[in-house]
Structure formats: structure tokens, C-alpha cells
Structure 1
Amino acid sequence: MGIVVGYLATPEGRAALDAAVDEARLRSTPVVVVASVRPDELAERRAETAEALDRVREELAGLGVEHDVRLLDGGDVADDLITTAEEVGAQLVVLGLRRRSPVGKLILGANAQRVLFDAPCPVLTVKPGVS
């Protein structure tokens, strides 16, 4: 059991992580942080992602939140989140979404849409700057 959160070192990723921590505390369950990298990504990008996840580990430990942080090489964010949610028997998946223009709101990002449709549990979407 746990709260699975898709993480990137972006404002959207930060909003998702904060919401996941809040939900984990409410439910007394661990947070499972998932970051995906493509196999063809440059070593520098992979190292930056690993460093960002180290900071997340330190932060969650400092907050006393039980956690598991995973850097996955699947390269498909939606598949990585859905598979992780299935593996851990997630209670919830949390995603950060970008703000979109009025026309852009008609189209949800492909990864977010796949997670919403295929996740084995409820999905919470959050935007930066919205509490």
C-alpha cells in the first residue's frame, strides 16, 4: 500500500510531491516516488535526475515520512507509474499537471491521460500554486 507520485524537478513535480506527502500523512501510508528516464537520455540528465531524487529522499526522511524513491529506466512515464501502482497496491497515484491555455485544456497530456484511464486506483492531479 502507498501513495505513488510521479516526480520531476519542476513546479508540477513539486506540487505532486507535496500533495502526495499530505495524502500519505492523512492515510498513514508510505510515499513511493517514481521518476522515469529514457534509456537514450544523456548521462548528464540521468545524473541530474538522480541528484534531485537524493534531495527528495533527504527531505522525506527529514519530515519523517516513510518512503521509497525509484529511478526507473523504462522510459515510459505512464507505464512506470501504472506498473509501480500495481506492484505496491497503491491507494492513490498523484500527478502534477501544467497549466494550459483554454484550447490546451481540451487536450490532456498523453501520459496523464493514460494514467487516469489505466491506473488501478484513484488518481489525484494537482497544479503548482493551487492548494
Structure 2
Amino acid sequence: MAIVVGYVPTKEGAAALAQAGQEAVLRKTSLVVINSDRDGAGEGSGDLQKALDDLTGQGVDVETRQLVRGNEPAEDLIAAAEELDAELIVIGLRRRTPVGKLILGSNAQRILLDAPCPVLAVKS
């Protein structure tokens, strides 16, 4: 089993990655970082590498999956959790207005509702 974490180069993504690392240490399991990039811009790769190096230094077995398939991030996280038989998904949350949720949809909501395992949602 593993912990799956969704990472985007934001303060919410950094918070999710940090919490997922703590959970991996507590549960003595591996961590799979999903960076789902719809357009292939690859922003924030330096920040991600630094965070991964920190986790590896703490003894966490980390695998990174850089996905550029045009899927919604929720689809990639749910698929990875199912494939790995994950014990936990960790995601970062940001505040959105009700109208913003209606117009743009919510990856977090989709993950919370469709995940095959428990989901830990963290704020930055």
C-alpha cells in the first residue's frame, strides 16, 4: 500500500506534500506524488524537487509521476489510488466562492466523493 498525494506548485500543494510525507513516516509506507499537468507547462519543478529531496532525507520512499495526459487532476489521482490500492489520498484545499465552484467545478469535491480510500484534505 502507499499514500497518494496530489501536487501543484502552490502553497496548497506544498502543504499537501508536507502532510503526506508526515503520514508516510507515521504509517511506514511509500509515497506516490502525482503532478497532473494538463498543458505540459511543468511549472514549479524546482520547488517539487527540493521537497522530494527533503522527504527522501527523512527516509520516505518517494515515487513521482508527472502526468501530462489532458485529464482532470481528480481523474489522475483516483486512477493512481485505485492502481496502487492506496491507503490514503492527500490533497491541498483552497477557498473558493460558491460561484467559482459552480463554474469551474471542483477537483477536490470529485476526489472526496469518488476516491476508493480515505482522503485527507489540508489547508496551507
Please confirm whether the aligned pair reaches a TM-score higher than 0.5, indicating the same fold.
yes
- Which structure is higher in strand share? 2
Instruction: Please give the alpha-carbon distance, in whole angstroms, between the structure 1 residues aligned to 2:52 and 2:20.
Output: 14
Q: 1:99 is aligned with what amino acid?
A: R
Aligned to 1:99, the other structure's residue is in SS state coil
Give percent identity, aligned residues only. 52
Instruction: Please give the alpha-carbon distance, in whole angstroms, between the structure 1 residues aligned to 2:81 and 2:117.
Output: 8
Residue aligning to 1:113: 109
Q: Could you list the runs of 4 or more consecutive aligned residues of structure 1 that deviate by over 4 angstroms after TM superposition? A: none
- 1:70 equivalenced with 2:69 (yes/no): no
Q: 1:93–1:123: 8 Å Cα contact kept in structure 2?
A: yes
Give 1:3 shift: 0.7
Give 1:49 shift: 4.3
- 1:8 equivalenced with 2:8 (yes/no): yes
Give 1:73 shift: 1.4
Unaligned 5+ residue runs, structure 1?
Answer: none
Q: 1:66 is aligned with what amino acid?
A: D
TM-score normalized with structure 1 length: 0.81
Number of equivalenced pairs:
122
Aligned to 1:65, the other structure's residue is in SS state coil
RMSD: 2.2
Unaligned 5+ residue runs, structure 2?
Answer: none
Instruction: Please give the alpha-carbon distance, in whole angstroms, between the structure 2 residues aligned to 1:9 and 1:57.
Output: 13
Q: 2:123 is aligned with what amino acid?
A: K
TM-score normalized with structure 2 length: 0.85
